[in-house]
Amino acid sequence: MRVVRAAGPDIVEVAEVTSPALKSPTDAVVSVTASAICGADLLPLSGHVPGFEWGTVLGHEFVGTVAEAGADVPFAVGSRVVCSSTVSCGTCWYCRHAMSSQCEQMALFGFSGVYPRLDGGQADLVRVPHADRVLWPLPEALDDDAAVFIADILPTAVRTVERAEVAEGDSVVVLGAGPVGLLEGLLADASGAHVVMVDPERRRRVEGERLGLRAVGTDEVLGVIEEMTTGRGVDVAIEASGHPDALASALAIVRGRGMVSVSGAHFDPDRPVDVGRMFAKELSLRFAMGSPTDDRARVAEMVLSGRIDPRPLITHRFPLDAAAEAYRIFRAHEATKVVLQP
């Protein structure tokens, strides 16, 4: 079978390898029908994942059908399923309290080093541990294009907007118009908020406008805040870029008692945060990674009810064999969401 793997820094290769086999009664093997590329897939390629093993198969956003199921897996062969991006144990304190993103035995598909190695789903076949928990049977009405978003980024966006406590009439600025930021903008808009997307890249702003959102450049932010709030500051800022300067901007543009909610990935342990301002303005700062295993059913319901349709974010599709080109255009920000179809 074919896999897409990170063969070295900035090297994506399609390789022929032995098909995965069940290792435990709770394992399943999934035959992948669609697998999206995520910004997090770029982290090991750019050397941001300590201890990453070259050769790890990439991909943590995939849907498919069950090809083989262990004795303790409650899905029949042939069932359509979406796989959660992370594997969680189901028994630790966090899992028992529906906080699977903090599971003590967490693993992320397509990663090694920071977590135990778990080969990902940009492949013809993928082994899924704890399949009884990690896989979720797809309702017939949810097509593959919508379902790939349930694996990771839509639950992340939902959590981030919920933790921001966005309410009808709120002024909301989303910093970063990548796929997660765009979903957050759409969700805040669906809540009746006044949403402005901010991104320094013109292509991403155009993409936001194509989806019906207002989008401005970073140099226009202060003018927008003046216009929306007579300079008071916005009710909510959502940081969706992972850039440290964007986090500082988010804290600077919210009003007193405002809320900053962060889905961007931050790794810097030494970056200063202006706690003086946070105290004086009584600000709240929250982070969200998303818990697809806990949230997928209600997130799917949001899609089925029409509250949010993530599918227009897919701008490109490639066969698995063209994965290197797919990664190139995704990394160059020439695409919004890219789907690989084995």
**Residues at the contact surface with Zn ion, assessed by CB under 5 A:** 38, 40, 88-89, 92, 95, 103, 152
Nearer to Zn ion, 84 or 191 (CB): 84
Nearer to Zn ion, 83 or 225 (CB): 83
Nearer to Zn ion, 152 or 189 (CB): 152
Collect all residues with Cβ–Cβ distance below 8 Å to 216 and sequence separation of at least 6. Answer: 196, 197, 198, 205, 224
Q: Record the tokens describing residue 40, joined without a space.
A: 């997090």
In whole angstroms, the minimum distance from the beta carbon of 38 to Zn ion comes to 3
Nearer to Zn ion, 171 or 336 (CB): 336
In whole angstroms, the minimum distance from the beta carbon of 16 to Zn ion comes to 26
Q: Is there a contact between 63 and 81 (Cβ–Cβ < 8 Å)?
A: yes
Rounded distance, CA 206 to CA 220, Å? 15
In whole angstroms, the minimum distance from the beta carbon of 58 to Zn ion comes to 11
In whole angstroms, the minimum distance from the beta carbon of 225 to Zn ion comes to 30
CB atoms within 10 A of CB 145: 19
Nearer to Zn ion, 232 or 243 (CB): 243
Sole residue written with tokens 């118009």: 177
Nearer to Zn ion, 40 or 118 (CB): 40
In whole angstroms, the minimum distance from the beta carbon of 182 to Zn ion comes to 14
- For residue 289, give the DSSP letter: -
Radius of gyration (Cα) for the chain, nearest Å?
A: 20
Nearer to Zn ion, 173 or 320 (CB): 320
In whole angstroms, the minimum distance from the beta carbon of 247 to Zn ion comes to 20
In whole angstroms, the minimum distance from the beta carbon of 195 to Zn ion comes to 22
In whole angstroms, the minimum distance from the beta carbon of 82 to Zn ion comes to 13
Q: Is there a contact between 226 and 160 (Cβ–Cβ < 8 Å)?
A: no
- For residue 322, give the DSSP letter: G
Q: Record the tokens describing residue 272, joined without a space.
A: 């200063």
Pairing of strands 11-16, 28-37: unpaired
Residue nearest Zn ion (C-beta atom): 38
Nearer to Zn ion, 82 or 225 (CB): 82
Question: Exposed e or buried b for every residue in 256-291, given b needs 16+ CB within 10 A?
Answer: eebbbbbbbbeeeeeeeeeeeeeeebebbbeebbbb
- For residue 160, give the DSSP letter: H
* Residue 303, φ and ψ in degrees, nearest 5: -75, -45
